[in-house]
Amino acid sequence: MPILELEDVHSYYGHIHALKGISLTVEEGEIVTLIGANGAGKSTTLRTISGLIRPRAGTIRFQGQRIDGLPPHRVAALRIGHSPEGRRVFPRMTVRENLEMGAYLQTDKAQIDRGLERVYDLFPRLKEREKQAAGTLSGGEQQMLAIGRALMSDPLILLLDEPSMGLAPNLVELIFDIIADINRQGTAILLVEQNAHMALSVASRGYVIQTGQIILADTAEGLQRNEMVRRAYLGEESALAG
């Protein structure tokens, strides 16, 4: 049984039909990527899973339990972590306070301490800046903080929305190395990412979304070989023309 399953999900922004029958699955311990152009529905898919948008039709199941229609705090309580697009850190709070906000549903101090230890092990730079205001961090450090905050809930699945956005190439590689580490520790990941090269390098499977619909699903290797994907998302049009 998949840890996460979406079946024929339809979501709207007012009268705008944003998701038009999305179906996808994520297995336990798997990295699955969702790639597509701006406005294709990638972030909307994650926001719908998290309960920030309530679908008008279709079903979302987590560990076999229906979660479509649950409010966001109840979705989070099921150990579904979400690192949103744009980082959304609390700028006036310290790094540690931001991380503790990610554990607001935790009541066991020892569990919170273990979460902090895990995050600081993955992101040593955050430990160095533990008492620094989050708004004074670099873009890369804020991205680390956003992912770390999502990890503080000890998620069974992590929803990552554009983790490489706006980062220098060396930081992109670092972030994706850490994503792979998180997955090796047993956390399933649904990754939304415009950098298709990097996303497909860490994922085992992927989906291509276009105008709110899944138009292609395959293994990461299969998507890397697909001519449409190579032309539209991997920037290889000239290579194919030759």
Give the model confidence (pLDDT) of 152-205 as tens digits: 988 999 999 998 888 888 888 888 998 999 999 999 999 998 889 999 999 999
| The predicted structure's pLDDT at residue 241 | 37
Tell whether the model's pLDDT for residue 240 goes beyond 70.
Answer: no
> Can you spell out the DSSP letters for 63-90?
TTEE-TT--HHHHHHTTEEEE-TT----
Strand partners, 218: 206
Domain carrying residue 77:
4-241
Nearest to 131 by CA among 89, 95, 102: 95
Structurally, how many domains does the chain consist of? 1
* Residue type at 113 in one-letter notation: D
**Residue 105 pLDDT:** 76
Q: What is the mean pLDDT of residues 219-227?
A: 96
What per-residue confidence (pLDDT) applies to 42? Answer: 96
Question: How far is 152 from 133, CA to CA, in rounded Å?
Answer: 18
CATH number at residue 43: 3.40.50.300
- Residue 61's closest CA among 1, 18, 17? 1
180: helix, strand or coil: helix
User: Residues 51-63: what's their mean pLDDT?
Assistant: 97
pLDDT for res 52: 96
Query: For the residues 71-98, what does the mean pLDDT come to?
Result: 90
d(CA 223, CA 216): 8
The pLDDT of residue 212: 97
pLDDT, position 33: 97
pLDDT at residue 82, as a whole number: 92
Q: Name the pLDDT band for 139 (thresholds 50, 70, 90).
A: confident
Mean pLDDT of 66-93: 90
What is the pLDDT averaged over residues 217-234?
A: 95
Rounded distance between C-alpha atoms, residue 140 and residue 6, angstroms: 31
pLDDT value, residue 164: 86
* % of the chain beyond a pLDDT of 90: 71
DSSP H/E element including 44: helix 42-49
Residue 184 three-state SS = helix
